[in-house]
């Protein structure tokens, strides 16, 4: 046996020669790509800010910054929730519907049932928790693929939120289906969640919703990065079987992820209701797509190539900056979705094409 | 030996080599496969069987060497070219061969529909007619309009084979075709293979199931570590010799100094892994490394799964340290001190996104956490200790797990379970896909730590068992077939126990000509 007459490579090396590491001698080109993948999106965000500062008058003002934060707050909270499901390798399409249902529920609780702010908030949180639980059980026990199960839930909720009022929006003094007039009102405390602004440097700058966003962002970031629960959730998303064989109760973790997603979405709904001051059936249509886009853009931040809370927050901010800047430049509103879509596709190229090429 | 023209090999391979990165899978293969005969290719996991098949099927290109089909040079660039040339492969995963939602007729015509030999407009009647011709050729009697998902596995495989045979192939490769078939289904397959052989087709049959091999083989070729290690064609075929050549026992000079075994850790009483299997009992002790060997599919992994809470036994009881033990989940097993390092690390153990340290600490995060928050300092210390203890080649504990070589990845997976005290440590194929250096390191470490717990190592390769164990158990047909101390081992006896009882060939199986 042997290599006589062969044009191929030299004879195989003896077994046992084990180079400790495989892959990568890094050339200068590799380093450049790596830097681009890692910091590309942050640089792009900074560049965008600089551009708008130069081009759009008033973009630099404190109020402009606050407005951006406020406009992304609800989207960001939903996106942070869906990040939890993405981490375990799932997906939650029902978040937009959970948020609008929660908005309607809070309005119904206060206007029709005459409940106070605390009770209304509790009703919403419970709604989010229960929907998340059902989503999780559908995915885990009935084995309906996550996209389909949560799509079904989305439809159910969109329909359900309109049934009690026969399809009408909820506002104080509305006429109920039985002909009577609703006696309750939005409590002042509840409205404050959406409208109050704290003083910071100047008077009335910092909206409560932004504080909520920052707090929840920190919470989920800390949970995913620093607790063992977060660690196990990432392991499940990366290799479910390995996590199970390491003793993790995979099903419970998955259900918990959907419950996190549901609760975050219901908080988003509470903020929406408090800002609008009514249960408006026409609002919140864009929430699902915007927040999913933010979470997916987040994959590209710092070259993570995986769902992560920090990236999600940056992703939401990115979209907010872009839209606010374009608005100030008088770019027509109907181009917004196009711009968001283009950014998302760019981010996905960063994540899936560039960083995977680098892995090789 | 006078070789008539008819005896000219249908397919020959010479000097075939293939490597993936630094990993040599085929180290120079020479073989000839005659027409009108069933050549069985035996080899343990990782011996290179699949790679060989994939090269023949045009999925991979060889690094060196050449292949000839019916005397003509053969070098397929794609599976389509391979089929065109006359080599047809029926893959192990039956569902890879059929589209379950299409009907039988469309499945029989699938390659023509895909390959553009059929007109663009789909004419169901025409397809049905042509499919009928194919089905008749092979004697298929199923309803051609039934969706394939309603068929049994065997029928699905028949469909895949029938489609292949419609090509009039010179060589038919069956890759572990019975691995998901029942006995009755397997018999139908054998009858079909007999018929094809009679028609003059060269059949390469890949398997390590002794019962299949006894039933079907005209000759046996064994593959081990990328080399041909045996060729058996004299009747009666030497099955034990073939098993020996496949598993090998180069008798690597490892001097096992067995310490006196400690107190019993695990006591198994009348355990029945599956209905119908013979119950068995055994005791595993501290300070004793026990190897469990046997061919693939004989119940080794099933036994490990029972011990680790992944599967309920059909009958029988377990005692751990004298107390009843019936874990409901892997979590409960770990809690009780029973650890399993699973086989096939890529799908069962490695978390690809994690670095070395996080892979290592995954099962024991509660022990590294205060109030749910992971203490990274503690984690790092343990990781660094294990890197040193197992001689893991890496730059730091923060290296991505996939940047390590296979051997070092495997060391991390084993280190994971050595990092915490256990009562029973089970390792399922810990030496799989591992170079010889890492294998030595791992074996030495297992022996070194044996005094702390009972150790059970599952390995199909006898060599590995002889190298690491104080005691060797043999498993066959989901039961215990042998129990040997690793001193002056009677290899012939072990091999015959591995090769398993009576041949399955039952007289009275009418073989249609």
Q: How far is A26 from chain B (nearest CA, A)?
A: 14
Nearest-Cα residue of chain A relative to residue B345: A242
**What residues contact A338, with CB distance under 8 A and at least 6 apart?**
none
Q: How far is A87 from chain B (nearest CA, A)?
A: 12
pTM as predicted: 0.77
Residue among A12, A23, A228 whose CB faces B403 most closely: A23
Would the CB atoms of A241 and B340 count as touching at under 8 Å? no
Would the CB atoms of B362 and A242 count as touching at under 8 Å? yes
Q: What is the tens place of the pLDDT at every residue in B212-254?
A: 888 888 999 988 878 888 888 877 777 777 777 777 654 455 5
Nearest-Cα residue of chain B relative to residue A307: B353
Q: How many CB atoms lie within 10 A of CB B211?
A: 18
Would the CB atoms of A12 and B362 count as touching at under 8 Å? no
User: Does residue B241 or residue B14 have the better pLDDT?
Assistant: B14
Residue among A5, A18, A241 whose CB faces B437 most closely: A18
Please identify which residue in the block is written with the tokens 């001689």: B391
Do residues B350 and B413 lie in contact, with contact meaning Cβ atoms separated by under 8 Å?
Answer: yes
Would the CB atoms of B373 and A226 count as touching at under 8 Å? yes
Do residues B108 and B67 lie in contact, with contact meaning Cβ atoms separated by under 8 Å?
Answer: no
- Residue B466 has φ and ψ, to the nearest 5°, of -65, -30
Interface check A88 vs B, CB under 8 A:
no
Residue among A20, A22, A238 whose CB faces B351 most closely: A238
A17 pLDDT more than 90: no
The span from the CA of B187 to the CA of B158, in Å, is 12
Nearest-Cα residue of chain A relative to residue B25: A12
The span from the CA of B65 to the CA of B17, in Å, is 6
Please identify which residue in the block is written with the tokens 């948020």: A99
pLDDT on residue A219: 95
Interface check A7 vs B, CB under 8 A:
yes
Would the CB atoms of B374 and A249 count as touching at under 8 Å? no
Q: What is the tens place of the pLDDT at every residue in A148-205?
A: 999 999 999 999 999 988 888 998 888 888 888 888 888 899 999 888 888 877 777 7
User: Does residue B24 or residue A192 have the better pLDDT?
Assistant: A192
Indicate which of B31, B363, B408, B461 best probes the interface with A, i.e. most A CBs within 10 Å of its own CB: B363
Least confident of A46-55, A85-94, A249-258, A259-268: A46-55
Interface check A25 vs B, CB under 8 A:
no
Q: What is the tens place of the pLDDT at every residue in B89-134?
A: 887 776 777 888 888 888 888 877 776 677 777 777 888 888 888 8
The span from the CA of B98 to the CA of B378, in Å, is 51
Interface check A5 vs B, CB under 8 A:
yes
Coil, helix or strand at residue A339: helix
Please identify which residue in the block is written with the tokens 């506002």: A171
**What residues contact B29, with CB distance under 8 A and at least 6 apart?**
B13, B15, B16, B17, B48, B52, B65, B223, B226, B227, B228
Average pLDDT over residues B453-466: 88
Would the CB atoms of B330 and A234 count as touching at under 8 Å? no
Pairing relationship of beta strands A202-207 and A197-200 according to DSSP bridges: antiparallel
The span from the CA of A260 to the CA of B412, in Å, is 33
Indicate which of A24, A239, A243 best probes the interface with B, i.e. most B CBs within 10 Å of its own CB: A239
Q: How far is B220 from chain A (nearest CA, A)?
A: 20
DSSP B149-187: GGS-HHHHHHHHHHHHHTT--SEEEEESTTTT--HHHHH
Q: How far is B153 from chain A (nearest CA, A)?
A: 23
A15 pLDDT more than 70: no
Q: Which residues of B fall within a CB distance of 8 Å from A235?
A: 351, 354, 358, 362
Beta-ladder partners of B339:
B425
Q: What is the tens place of the pLDDT at every residue in A257-307?
A: 999 999 999 999 999 999 999 898 888 888 999 999 999 989 888 878 889
**Of all residues in chain B, what percent carry a pLDDT higher than 70?**
90
Q: Which residues of B fall within a CB distance of 8 Å from A5?
A: 15
ipTM: 0.78
Strands across the sheet containing B202-206: B87-90, B171-175, B202-206, B37-43, B219-224, B227-232
Q: Which residues of B fall within a CB distance of 8 Å from A241?
A: 347-348
Interface check A166 vs B, CB under 8 A:
no
> Helices (H), strands (E): how many in chain A?
14, 2
Do residues B108 and B127 lie in contact, with contact meaning Cβ atoms separated by under 8 Å?
Answer: no
B4 pLDDT more than 70: no
Closest CA to B82 of A226, A101, B91, B221: B91
The span from the CA of A27 to the CA of A22, in Å, is 16
Coil, helix or strand at residue B362: helix
A23 pLDDT more than 60: no
Would the CB atoms of B331 and A247 count as touching at under 8 Å? yes
Interface check A241 vs B, CB under 8 A:
yes
Strands across the sheet containing B479-485: B338-341, B424-428, B454-458, B289-293, B471-476, B479-485
Q: How far is A247 from chain B (nearest CA, A)?
A: 4
Q: Which residues of B fall within a CB distance of 8 Å from A299?
A: none
**What residues contact B152, with CB distance under 8 A and at least 6 apart?**
B185
Q: Where are the beta strands (DSSP E) in B212-275?
A: 219-224, 227-232, 264-272
Would the CB atoms of B403 and A235 count as touching at under 8 Å? no
Helical residues (DSSP H) of B371-422, grouped into ranges? 376-389, 406-418
Tell me, what DSSP letter sits at residue B419?
A: S
Q: How far is B336 from chain A (nearest CA, A)?
A: 12
A314 pLDDT more than 80: yes
> Helices (H), strands (E): how many in chain B?
18, 22
Q: Which residues of A fall within a CB distance of 8 Å from B366?
A: 228
| Pairs of residues, one from chain A and one from chain B, whose beta carbons lie less than 8 Å apart | 146
Q: How far is A277 from chain B (nearest CA, A)?
A: 39
């Amino acid at each position: 046996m042997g290599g006589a007459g062969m044009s191929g490579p030299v004879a195989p090396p003896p077994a046992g020669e084990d180079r400790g590491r495989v892959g990568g001698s890094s050339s200068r080109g590799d380093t450049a790509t790596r830097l681009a993948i890692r910091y590309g999106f942050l640089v792009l965000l900074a560049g965008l800010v600089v551009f708008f500062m130069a081009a759009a008058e008033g973009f630099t003002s404190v109020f402009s910054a606050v407005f951006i934060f406020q406009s992304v707050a609800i989207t960001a909270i939903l996106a942070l929730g869906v990040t939890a499901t993405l981490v375990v390798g799932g997906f939650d399409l029902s978040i937009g519907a959970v948020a609008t249902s929660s908005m309607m529920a809070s309005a119904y609780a206060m206007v029709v049932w005459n409940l106070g702010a605390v009770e209304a908030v509790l009703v919403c949180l419970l709604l989010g928790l229960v929907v998340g639980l059902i989503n999780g059980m559908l995915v885990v026990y009935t084995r309906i693929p996550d996209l389909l199960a949560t799509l079904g839930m989305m439809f159910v909720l969109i329909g359900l939120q309109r049934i009690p009022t026969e399809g009408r929006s909820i506002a104080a003094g509305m006429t109920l289906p039985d002909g009577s007039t609703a006696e309750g009102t939005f409590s002042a405390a509840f409205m404050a969640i959406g409208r109050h602004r704290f003083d910071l440097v100047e008077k009335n700058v910092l909206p409560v919703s932004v504080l909520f966003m920052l707090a929840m962002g920190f919470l989920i970031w800390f949970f995913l990065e620093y607790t063992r629960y977060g660690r196990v959730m990432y392991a499940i998303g990366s290799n479910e079987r390995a996590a199970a064989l390491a003793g993790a109760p995979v099903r419970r973790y998955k259900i918990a992820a959907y419950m996190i997603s549901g609760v975050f979405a219901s908080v988003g709904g509470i903020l929406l209701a408090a800002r609008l001051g009514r249960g408006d059936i026409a609002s919140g249509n864009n929430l699902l797509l915007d927040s999913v886009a933010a979470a997916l853009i987040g994959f590209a931040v710092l070259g993570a190539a995986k769902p992560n809370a920090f990236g999600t927050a940056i992703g939401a901010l990115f979209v907010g900056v872009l839209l606010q800047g374009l608005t100030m430049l008088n770019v027509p509103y109907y181009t917004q979705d196009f711009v968001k879509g283009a950014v998302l596709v760019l981010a996905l190229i960063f994540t899936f094409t560039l960083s995977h090429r680098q892995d090789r | 030996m006078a070789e008539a023209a008819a005896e000219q090999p249908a397919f020959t391979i010479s000097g075939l080599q293939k490597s993936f990165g630094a990993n040599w899978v085929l180290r120079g293969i020479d073989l000839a496969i005659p027409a009108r005969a069933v050549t069985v290719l035996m080899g343990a996991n990782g011996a290179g069987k699949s790679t060989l098949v994939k090269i023949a099927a045009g999925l991979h290109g060889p690094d060196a060497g050449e292949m000839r089909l019916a005397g003509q040079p053969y070098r397929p660039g794609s599976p389509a070219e391979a089929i065109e040339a006359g080599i047809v492969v029926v893959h192990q995963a039956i569902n890879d061969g059929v589209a379950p939602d299409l009907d039988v007729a469309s499945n029989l015509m699938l390659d023509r529909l895909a390959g553009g030999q059929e007109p663009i407009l789909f004419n169901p009647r025409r397809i049905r007619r042509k499919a009928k011709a194919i089905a008749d050729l092979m004697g298929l009697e199923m309803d051609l309009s039934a969706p394939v998902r309603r068929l049994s596995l065997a029928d699905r495989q028949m469909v895949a084979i029938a489609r292949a045979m419609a090509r009039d192939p010179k060589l038919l490769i069956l890759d572990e075709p019975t691995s998901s078939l029942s006995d009755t289904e397997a018999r139908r397959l054998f009858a079909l293979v007999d018929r094809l052989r009679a028609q003059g087709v060269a059949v390469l049959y890949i398997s390590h199931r002794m019962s299949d091999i006894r039933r079907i083989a005209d000759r046996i070729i064994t593959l081990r570590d990328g080399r041909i290690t045996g060729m058996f064609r004299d009747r009666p075929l030497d099955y034990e010799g073939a098993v020996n050549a496949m598993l090998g026992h180069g008798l690597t000079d490892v001097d096992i100094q067995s310490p006196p075994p400690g107190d019993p850790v695990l006591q198994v009483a009348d355990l029945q892994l599956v209905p119908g299997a013979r119950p068995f009992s055994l005791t595993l002790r501290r300070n004793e490394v026990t190897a469990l060997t046997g061919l693939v599919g004989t119940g080794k992994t099933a036994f490990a799964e029972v011990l680790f809470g992944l599967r309920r036994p059909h009958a029988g009881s377990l005692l751990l340290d004298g107390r009843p033990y019936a874990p409901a989940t892997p979590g409960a097993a770990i809690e009780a001190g029973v650890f399993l390092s699973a086989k096939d690390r890529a799908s069962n153990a490695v978390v690809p996104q994690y670095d070395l340290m996080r892979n290592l600490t995954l099962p024991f995060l509660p022990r590294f956490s205060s109030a749910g928050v992971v203490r990274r300092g503690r984690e790092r210390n343990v990781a660094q200790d294990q890197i040193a203890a197992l001689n893991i080649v890496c730059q730091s504990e923060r290296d991505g797990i996939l940047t390590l070589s296979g051997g070092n990845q495997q060391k991390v997976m084993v280190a994971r379970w050595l990092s915490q005290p256990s009562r029973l440590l089970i390792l399922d194929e810990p030496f799989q896909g591992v170079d010889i250096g890492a294998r030595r390191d791992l074996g030495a470490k297992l022996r070194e730590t044996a005094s702390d717990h009972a150790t059970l190592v599952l390995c199909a390769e006898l060599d590995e068992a002889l190298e690491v164990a104080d005691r060797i158990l043999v498993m066959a047909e989901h039961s215990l077939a042998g129990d040997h101390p690793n001193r002056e081992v009677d290899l012939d006896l072990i091999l015959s126990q591995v090769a398993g009882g009576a041949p399955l060939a039952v007289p009275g199986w009418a073989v249609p000509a």
